[in-house]
Amino acid sequence: GAVVSQHPSRVICKSGTSVKIECRSLDFQATTMFWYRQFPKQSLMLMATSNEGSKATYEQGVEKDKFLINHASLTLSTLTVTSAHPEDSSFYICSARYAGKYGYTFGSGTRLTVV
Partner 1 sequence: AQTVTQSQPEMSVQEAETVTLSCTYDTSESDYYLFWYKQPPSRQMILVIRQEAYKQQNATENRFSVNFQKAAKSFSLKISDSQLGDAAMYFCAYLSGNTGKLIFGQGTTLQVKP
Chain residues that interact with partner 1, rule: CB under 8 A? 32, 34, 38, 41-46, 49, 91, 93, 95, 97, 101-102, 104, 106, 108-109
DSSP string, 41-105: TS-EEEEEEEETTS--EEPTT--TTTEEEEEEETTEEEEEE-S--GGG-EEEEEEEEEETTTEEE
User: CA-CA distance, 67 to 75, in Å (whole number)?
Assistant: 20
Least distance to partner 1 from the beta carbon of 72, Å? 20
Least distance to partner 1 from the beta carbon of 69, Å? 15
User: CA-CA distance, 57 to 7, in Å (whole number)?
Assistant: 22
Least distance to partner 1 from the beta carbon of 43, Å? 5
Residue 13 or 46 with smaller CB distance to partner 1: 46
User: CA-CA distance, 51 to 34, in Å (whole number)?
Assistant: 9
Least distance to partner 1 from the beta carbon of 85, Å? 23
Residue 74 or 83 with smaller CB distance to partner 1: 74
Residue 3 or 68 with smaller CB distance to partner 1: 3
Residue 83 or 99 with smaller CB distance to partner 1: 99
Q: Which amino acid is at 16?
A: G
